[in-house]
A and B are shown apart, each in its own frame.
Chain A
Amino acid sequence: MVWVPGVGEIPLSLSTIKGRRKSITVKRYGIVSQALLKYKPGDRIFLRGPYGTGFTLTEERNLIIGGGSGMAALRPLINDKSFGMVSAKTGDELLFTHEFKENSIMIMTDDGSSGLKGFPSDYLESVDIDQFARIYACGPELMLKALYHKLKDSRPDAEFSMERIMKCGIGICDSCSIDGRQICVDGPVVRVGEINPDGEFGHQKLDISGRRIEIHL
């Protein structure tokens, strides 16, 4: 949880995990991210955590499927043998595509402004997923939902990093819960096999006040 004193606090993932220097990736979104983008070298950053679960790391060949700013959480998983399916709404919003080796990436955008037009789930069949030791995905819930149906029975273990409104980060406020599990504590990374496709995942969530809303495109 990253705090900008006097402004607010937001949940973020690390984009660098190895070594002494860590990094976070910030997208201009709300008041806190806008304030973070004004930070200069030497400014103090305030944070608490880390909280929740992480991806199961592998040095083997892995498949990384990222949607939009979801790539921020997936970046530390990229290795020499990774294959990436990187997507975003438009070409301008694609992240970390250059960190994959040549011919080890497939790019797609919702509007076709860069790479293929469409979503990762549309192109999953063109990739031989059995060659990977693990599959990781992070992105909008509807992208994950579409992937769920294609990966639930896959041989390589697939892990998704989920996103919900998160206020406390420590499993009390109930804002981020899916089917009674708190994404801040029992997630954000969950194994695909643990997801209930008939529950709240991909269907409903609570908004900032706790009001139940449907998840739409």
Chain B
Amino acid sequence: MIDLGVSIAGIDLENPFVLASGILDENGYTLVEVLRSGASAVVTKSIGLEERKGYIPPVVYELPYGLLNAIGLSNPGIEHYSHEISIAIREKKPIIGSVFGSTPEEFAHLSSRMEDFGVSAVELNLSCPHVKGYGQEVGSDPNLVRDIVRSVKRKVDVPVFAKLSPNVSDIQAIAEAAIDADGFTLINTVKAMKIDIYARQPVLSNVYGGLSGSAIKPVGIRYVYEIASNFDRPIFGVGGITTAEDAVEYIMAGASAVQVGTAVARVGKRVFNKLISEMRDFMEREGFSKIGDMKGVALRR
């Protein structure tokens, strides 16, 4: 009997495949469809205090090996977003509320409202690479990260995940600062850009964006491995997972579960059912009966 169930920071998931933040998670009815397509949980779009329109398109650029985006943290503001969660929550699967802010107080308030709306966990966006004053700018300062995580932990009872950026010189220092979190989400997108040589200018209106997809998987694997080797916290692995083999690689590097984003754009929502059946096949072939049996097996202790 193959059991795909996992538990991460006390949250039980029917399989290890969770929708990553920022993909198809603005509209509650879309979250419902994603959950019905096999995702065991969803992470919401990152939500802030106030309504934000985001950047003027172009906000995405497709590459053969990945996707570049700078949506610009568009969101309706935390109070308006409650309605979307109320729609998605009827599916009775875990919703993880992603929040972004610039101060510990903002993060604590947003997380607390997410908890009021009924989320199973919150994920702190300490890593968006393309909005000034938020995300990575906040997440690169260990002292600020420490204060943010502590403020949130004091305010909410649900598990707290810190989503960290690969765009820092010393991720271990940031992970150490965020150690009060119940878990880590690794990694956010890699800061990158694209120039159209015929237009002779950057394609994204924000110039810089975040690279996701297959191109960043080796980077994600390395960060998960490094953090799993040095910290005793559960990890959501994210970055370039399109097949069950990609997910297994993250799990063997130490992730408890994984998040899927860009593959949803490439394959569609059916990617979740595809991952589930591929994972069953892999485990059967390789003689694993539980996801947990694969966790961290590649780590050199």
State A167–B27 Cα separation when bound (angstroms): 14
Q: Determine whether the beta carbon of B58 is less than 8 Å from that of A9.
A: yes
Task: Give the residue name and chain of the A residue nearest to B27 (CB).
Answer: A177
**8 Å CB contact of A180 from B29, B74, B201, B265:** B29
Given the known inter-chain contacts A171-B268, A212-B83, please indicate yes or no for A46 contacting B199, CB distance below 8 A: yes
Where chain B touches its partner, the secondary structure class is: loop
Task: Give the residue name and chain of the B residue nearest to A178 (CB).
Answer: B29
Given the known inter-chain contacts A46-B199, A212-B80, please indicate yes or no for A171 contacting B24, CB distance below 8 A: yes
Task: Give the residue name and chain of the B residue nearest to A175 (CB).
Answer: B26
Closest CB of chain A to B5's CB: distance in Å? 25
For chain B, the count of residues having a C-beta within 8 Å of the partner chain is: 44
Give chain B residues whose Cβ lies under 8 Å from the Cβ of A26. none
Given the known inter-chain contacts A171-B24, A208-B53, A209-B51, please indicate yes or no for A5 contacting B60, CB distance below 8 A: no
- Tell whether A168 is near chain B: CB-to-CB under 8 Å: yes
For chain A, the count of residues having a C-beta within 8 Å of the partner chain is: 34
Q: Determine whether the beta carbon of A210 is less than 8 Å from that of B59.
A: no
State A5–B265 Cα separation when bound (angstroms): 24
- Interfacial residues of chain B within 29-55, with CB under 8 A of chain A in the complex: 29-30, 32-34, 45, 51-54
- Tell whether A110 is near chain B: CB-to-CB under 8 Å: no
- Tell whether B196 is near chain A: CB-to-CB under 8 Å: yes
Q: Determine whether the beta carbon of A48 is less than 8 Å from that of B62.
A: yes
**8 Å CB contact of B74 from A182, A200, A210:** A210
B residues with CB within 8 A of A: 22-27, 29-30, 32-34, 45, 51-54, 56-60, 62, 67, 69, 71, 74-77, 80-81, 83-84, 196, 198-199, 201, 203, 205, 261-262, 264-265, 268
